[in-house]
Structures are given as structure tokens and as C-alpha cells.
Amino acid sequence: MGKNAGKLVIISGPSGTGKGTVIKEILKQRPEFKFSVSSTTRKPRPGEVDGVAYYFISHNQFNEMIENEEFLEHAQFVGEHYGTPTKPIQECLDAGQTVILDIEVQGAKQVMSKDVGSINIFLIAPSMEELENRLRGRGTDSEEKLIARLERARKELEEKIHYDYVVVNDTATRAAEEILSIIEGKE
């Protein structure tokens, strides 16, 4: 991936923090930014469109993509696989576009270790209690999966020291503005 014309922005942080919500707000304000659509073995939630939220693929397809080295990074999260296809990102960066990745911490570490000059942002909820409220409020996980996501969140929070910026998602509009000023302050 080497030197790029466009900016690669990693937004990471525990599940339920509000990454998807804040990224939507950023894209509303900057429709020219590109969201990197990941591939996942997770089943779609109601309303999630294939090719928009994710490419929803089988375990076999996922393994094939790994074998063909199609991923910039990939990781396992609460029993499912998630990965970032390299090609579309490379094309956007070559065209000078800003690309946003919504990825968990293991994958973020892989991208950071490649030293591609990414802007690395860790988004957190104001508290663990609020994180749990948000996950429960979203209502997309079984109790078992929800507990697994919260356990993972506690471990992921320890990873924030590896990031260039930590942003608190108190309100989505404020957090989006802070992230935009980080991205646009970095030339």
C-alpha cells in the first residue's frame, strides 16, 4: 500500500460505542469520503444491505479471500470473521480520496504495523454503563453475544494507548466534528 495520495482513516473502538453512527454523521457532512465495505461471515441484521453495510459471505468464501491475499487485514470477532478488502481502498487512495475503515482493534493493529500512514482514531463511549445501554438499546444481539461483546470491550479498551487520538462519543454530531477536525488538520 505504500505512499498514498488520499488519507486512510481507522475508526476503531468497542462494539456499541457508536462507530457506525458517528461514521454516518461524518459521511453526511462529507459525502465525498469513502466508507470501506468489509466482508464478514456474520449474518445481516434487519435493514443491512449486502454490499452497503458489509459483503455478507460464507466461511468458505472468506477463507478463499484469505488464501488469495485479498485482505488488507482480517480478524475474528465474537465467533465471526471480518476483513477489509484491499483493492477498492487502494483505488480510492490512488484517486486521492479519504477512506474510512470501521474495524476492531486486532485488525487496526495489523494496518498500523504496515506503516501506511493511516490516521488512527479510537472511539469510546462516555462510560462502560453507557456502552452497555447502547448495546442493549441497539437490540441486535442475543444475551450471550451481548455479554461476549462487553467482555471483549473491556479488553479492547486497554488498546487505546496504541492510537493517535481517543475521541469520546458523547453526542454523534460533536464526535463527528472532532474527527473531521483531526482528519482535515492532518495534511
Binding site for ligand ADP (CB under 6 A): 15-21, 134, 137-138, 169, 171-172
Q: Report the residue number, 21 or 110, with the smaller CB distance to ligand ADP.
A: 21
Q: Report the residue number, 3 or 43, with the smaller CB distance to ligand 5GP.
A: 43
Given 84, 98, 120, 169, the residue binding ligand 5GP (CB under 6 A): 84
Cα end-to-end distance, the chain, whole Å: 18
Q: Distance (Å, rounded) from C-alpha 129 to C-alpha 55?
A: 31
Q: Please name the residue that has the C-alpha cell 454530531.
A: 173
Partner from ligand ADP, ligand 5GP, none binding residue 99, C-beta < 5-8 Å depending on class: none
Q: Beta strands of the chain (E only): which ranges?
A: 8-12, 34-35, 38-40, 54-56, 71-77, 80-85, 99-102, 119-124, 165-168
Partner from ligand ADP, ligand 5GP, none binding residue 6, C-beta < 5-8 Å depending on class: none
Q: Does 82 bind ligand 5GP (CB under 6 A)?
A: yes
* Contact in structure between 57 and 39 (CB atoms under 8 Å): yes
Partner from ligand 5GP, ligand ADP, none binding residue 137, C-beta < 5-8 Å depending on class: ligand ADP
Name the residue whose CB lies closest to ligand 5GP: 107
Nine cell digits for residue 31: 459525502
